[in-house]
């Protein structure tokens, strides 16, 4: 915990440094003649906005050491939210200039404007398009894969055109050192794309996996059992996830994230993912044949057991059961004696995957399973409705603040449960969550 907090603080300081250092570097050496306050202020906003946009490439480059203190879902959430700040800064730059110096409005004429102004327009419009598409992707029913490719292209265009605008204007970047610094900065961050899209896939290509078994589970779910093919595989901690490329090579743009559902104690590098049929990609998983070659990039995520706890309380909604299965199977394999309580919410009994295995696991560890059904079948005597504070009080021994809680499920359910835990006086560091909605 302490190690993660220190690491987190170091990364926050580094983040601020990456944004502010290129800005302050402008103040070094010979300075061009001073302009009005508003002009300089708007330029500073533009520089800071562009530096933040550059850093966005680093946030999603899947560097395990960067994301470990927070977890991937938090990093993606930050990537989304901070992009709004970056775009606001970039857009504020021309707005302030147009308001304070209306004669510059003629630069909006794309045909007659000089290239340095055209680059500014290209960068700003790309950024706006990028944010609009990211915010409203599901509303405009844009397929994920198309959105993903467009997102990458627009991001590169925005950043490259942004720096071309700065170099073209050459007010601060007249100095070759400063110009070199900014160009190097953009080349570095955009170059991360080369790492993510070419170097990393090359590495994955040399470490393929083979599907050893395909298992149908309840609730339109398919478990893929995968074994490393010609290498030792990787170790993961229960609750973590990997990016799966099921069809095609690791060079393809889109891979899909899935939690590992198997025990982390498997010695032969075997991993399992249990995938619910929910859309364009997942509907094809059940057609996979044993022997198929697949690629796994992992492990990722900070949603893991390992903290000292008197009792693990696992709260799963729907397919959010998969990381919990990994935790329970691992604890059973380790012969862990501490009590585990699983609250498992789902729409109906048919959708409750792994229910027979959960029953069987009770003989291997101190496990209590509370199934909570939204739609209960006739004669159901168990819990029904939502997971509430009363439900916790019925099944958990006090003091509630002593247990360690793990939550994974639909966003609405997770928000509700986090509020319930807060109302029961559970401190935030005692609950951990994994959101399946990165984008
Ligand atoms: C950390 C994590 C762990 C997950 N673990 C599991 C699991 O164990 N079992 C399981 O069934 N599901 C899991 N999911 C959800 C799973 O990744 C999505 O359901 C799946 O990618 C949807 O793909 P689709 O094309 O079938 O659905 P679509 O209908 O095309 O997409 C549905 C939604 O899923 C998201 N999505 C789609 N493709 C991707 C992608 N390549 N990367 C990120 N998000 C995407 C988008 O928000 C999209 O709107 C996990 C998600 C995350 C983030």
- Whether the link from the prior residue into 299 is cis, omega within 30° of 0, is yes
Task: Evaluate if residue 1 carries a pLDDT over 60.
Answer: no
What mean pLDDT value characterizes the chain? Answer: 91
Tokens of 33: 């003649």
DSSP 3-state of 133? helix
Give the residue carrying structure tokens 């706890």: 309
**What's the CA-to-centroid distance between 180 and ligand 1, angstroms?**
41
Q: Whose CA is nearest to atom 19 of ligand 1?
A: 278
Distances (CA, A) of 172 to 31, 161, 228, 239: 7, 17, 53, 49
pLDDT at 167: 87
| Beta-sheet strands, E only, within 164-305 | 209-217, 221-228, 241-245, 256-259, 271-276, 293-300
* Length reported for the chain: 439
The CA-to-CA distance between both ends of the chain, in Å, stands at 27
Q: Are strands 340-346 and 367-373 parallel, antiparallel or unpaired?
A: parallel
User: Average of pLDDT values for 111-118?
Assistant: 94
> Using CA atoms, how far apart are residues 369 and 363, in angstroms rounded to an integer?
12
- Whether the link from the prior residue into 134 is cis, omega within 30° of 0, is no
141 phi and psi angles, rounded to 5 deg: 55, 45
Task: Evaluate if residue 309 carries a pLDDT over 80.
Answer: no
Is 405:421 a contact under the CB 8 Å cutoff? yes
pLDDT at 191: 86
Report residue 229's pLDDT band, with 50, 70 and 90 as the boundaries.
very high
pLDDT at 64: 81
133 phi and psi angles, rounded to 5 deg: -65, -35
pLDDT digits (tens, 9 = 90+) for 339-370: 999 999 999 999 999 999 999 999 999 999 99
pLDDT at 439: 66
pLDDT digits (tens, 9 = 90+) for 413-423: 999 999 999 99
Report residue 15's pLDDT band, with 50, 70 and 90 as the boundaries.
confident
pLDDT at 246: 93
> Using CA atoms, how far apart are residues 275 and 298, in angstroms rounded to an integer?
17
- Residues near 67 by Cβ (< 8 Å), separated by ≥ 6? 75, 300, 302
- For the CA of 301, the closest atom of ligand 1 is 1
pLDDT at 185: 85
Give the residue carrying structure tokens 């697949």: 294
**What's the CA-to-centroid distance between 44 and ligand 1, angstroms?**
39
280 lines ligand 1 (CB under 6 A): yes
314 phi and psi angles, rounded to 5 deg: -105, 130
Q: Helices (DSSP H) in 214-349: which residue ranges?
A: 321-333
Q: Ligand 1: which of 76, 133, 242, 436 to mutate, judged by most atoms within 8 Å of the beta carbon?
A: 436
pLDDT at 29: 77
Burial of residue 57, with CB atoms counted within 10 A of its CB: 0-12 exposed, 13-18 middle, 19 or more buried = buried
User: Average of pLDDT values for 234-258?
Assistant: 93
- Residues near 114 by Cβ (< 8 Å), separated by ≥ 6? 107, 168
Instruction: Return the HEC string of 176-223.
Output: HHHHHHHHHHHHHHHHHHHHHHHHHHHHHHCCCEEEEEEEEECCCEEE
Report residue 87's pLDDT band, with 50, 70 and 90 as the boundaries.
very high
Task: Evaluate if residue 296 carries a pLDDT over 90.
Answer: yes
Percent of the chain whose pLDDT exceeds 90: 69
In the chain, what are the helix, strand and coil shares in percent, each to the nearest 5? 50, 15, 30
Report residue 4's pLDDT band, with 50, 70 and 90 as the boundaries.
low
**What's the CA-to-centroid distance between 273 and ligand 1, angstroms?**
12
> Using CA atoms, how far apart are residues 400 and 18, in angstroms rounded to an integer?
41
Burial of residue 406, with CB atoms counted within 10 A of its CB: 0-12 exposed, 13-18 middle, 19 or more buried = buried
pTM equals: 0.90
Task: Evaluate if residue 120 carries a pLDDT over 90.
Answer: yes
pLDDT at 125: 95
- For the CA of 137, the closest atom of ligand 1 is 49
258 lines ligand 1 (CB under 6 A): yes
pLDDT at 339: 95
User: Average of pLDDT values for 407-436?
Assistant: 93
Q: Whose CA is nearest to atom 10 of ligand 1?
A: 275
pLDDT at 21: 83
pLDDT digits (tens, 9 = 90+) for 162-179: 999 988 887 777 788 888
> Using CA atoms, how far apart are residues 326 and 273, in angstroms rounded to an integer?
10
Task: Evaluate if residue 238 carries a pLDDT over 90.
Answer: yes
**What's the CA-to-centroid distance between 321 and ligand 1, angstroms?**
14
User: Average of pLDDT values for 384-410?
Assistant: 94
pLDDT digits (tens, 9 = 90+) for 258-270: 999 999 999 899 9
- Whether the link from the prior residue into 232 is cis, omega within 30° of 0, is no
147 lines ligand 1 (CB under 6 A): no
Is 19:46 a contact under the CB 8 Å cutoff? no
User: Average of pLDDT values for 176-198?
Assistant: 87
* Burial track 2-41 (b if 16+ CB lie within 10 A, e otherwise): eeeeeeeeebeeebeebbeebbebbeeeeeeeeeeeebeb
């Amino acid at each position: 915990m302490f190690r993660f907090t220190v690491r987190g603080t170091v990364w926050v300081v580094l983040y601020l440094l990456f944004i502010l250092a290129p800005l302050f570097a402008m103040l070094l050496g010979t300075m061009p003649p001073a302009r009005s306050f508003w002009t300089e202020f708007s330029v500073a906003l533009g520089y800071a906005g562009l530096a933040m946009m550059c850093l966005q490439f680093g946030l999603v480059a899947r560097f395990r050491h960067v994301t470990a203190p927070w977890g991937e879902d938090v990093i993606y959430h930050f990537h989304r939210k901070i992009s709004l700040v970056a775009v606001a800064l970039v857009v504020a730059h021309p707005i302030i200039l147009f308001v304070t110096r209306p004669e510059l409005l003629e630069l909006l004429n794309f045909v007659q404007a000089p290239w340095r102004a055209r680059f500014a327009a290209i960068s700003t419009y790309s950024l706006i398009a990028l944010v609009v598409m990211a915010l409203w992707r599901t509303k405009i029913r844009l397929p994920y894969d198309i959105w993903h490719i467009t997102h990458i292209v627009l991001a590169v265009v925005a950043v490259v055109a942004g720096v071309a605008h700065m170099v073209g204007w050459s007010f601060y970047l007249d100095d070759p050192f400063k110009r070199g610094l900014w160009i190097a900065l953009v080349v570095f961050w955009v170059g991360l794309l080369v790492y993510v899209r070419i170097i990393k896939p090359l590495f994955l290509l040399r470490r393929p996996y083979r599907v050893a078994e395909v298992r149908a589970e309840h609730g339109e779910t398919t478990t893929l059992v995968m074994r490393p093919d010609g290498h030792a595989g990787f170790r993961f901690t229960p609750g973590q996830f990997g990016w799966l490329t099921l069809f095609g090579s690791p060079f393809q743009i889109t891979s899909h994230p899935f939690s590992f559902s198997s025990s982390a104690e498997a010695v032969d590098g075997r991993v399992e993912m249990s995938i619910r049929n929910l859309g364009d990609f997942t509907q094809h998983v059940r057609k996979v044949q044993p022997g198929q070659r697949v690629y796994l990039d992992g492990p990722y995520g900070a949603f893991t057991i390992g903290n000292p706890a008197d009792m693990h309380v696992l709260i799963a909604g729907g397919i959010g059961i998969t990381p919990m299965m990994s935790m329970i199977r691992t604890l059973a394999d380790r012969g862990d004696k501490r009590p585990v309580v699983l609250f498992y919410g789902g729409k109906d009994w048919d959708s409750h995957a792994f229910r027979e295995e959960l029953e069987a696991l009770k003989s291997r560890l101190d496990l209590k399973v509370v199934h909570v059904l939204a739609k209960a079948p006739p004669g159901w005597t168990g819990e029904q409705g939502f997971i509430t504070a009363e439900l916790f009080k019925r099944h958990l021994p006090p003091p509630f603040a002593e247990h360690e809680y793990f939550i994974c499920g639909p966003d609405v359910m997770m928000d509700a449960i986090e509020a319930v835990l807060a109302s029961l006086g559970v401190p935030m560091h005692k609950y951990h969550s994994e959101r399946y909605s990165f984008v």
